[in-house]
């Protein structure tokens, strides 16, 4: 039996991958908007001893690769056009 998966996020992935960074303000906005590390990762300590480590959960986001790629393109644009 052959099953076909319907990927509802594919159009969003394609749109994110197709965004071209050609504006300084857009590149700066994207670098501020998309975090460079997962904001959910935490170490919970009690009296200086590590009790619980919460791993980064961002990789569970189905659009994680596209967002990181978009941030990388924005950083490259800023690096090329900084004076």
Q: Where are the domains of the chain?
A: 22-81
Q: How many Å apart are CA 74 and CA 24, to the nearest integer?
A: 9
- Bridge partner list, 43: 53
Write out pLDDT tens, residues 16-62.
999 999 999 999 999 999 988 887 888 889 898 989 988 888 878 88
Question: What is the structure's pLDDT at 73?
Answer: 95
Q: How many Å apart are CA 71 and CA 35, to the nearest integer?
A: 8
The verdict on pTM exceeding 0.85 is no
Residue 45 sits at φ, ψ, to 5 deg, of -120, 150
Q: Indicate if the pLDDT at residue 4 is higher than 60.
A: no
């Amino acid at each position: 039996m052959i099953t076909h998966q319907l990927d509802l996020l594919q159009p969003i992935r394609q749109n994110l991958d197709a965004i071209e960074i050609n504006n300084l303000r857009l590149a700066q906005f994207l670098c501020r908007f998309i975090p460079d590390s997962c904001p959910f990762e935490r170490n919970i300590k009690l009296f200086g001893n590590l009790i619980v480590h919460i791993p980064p959960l961002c990789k569970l986001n189905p659009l994680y690769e596209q967002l990181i790629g978009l941030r990388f393109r924005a950083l490259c644009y800023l690096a090329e056009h900084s004076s």
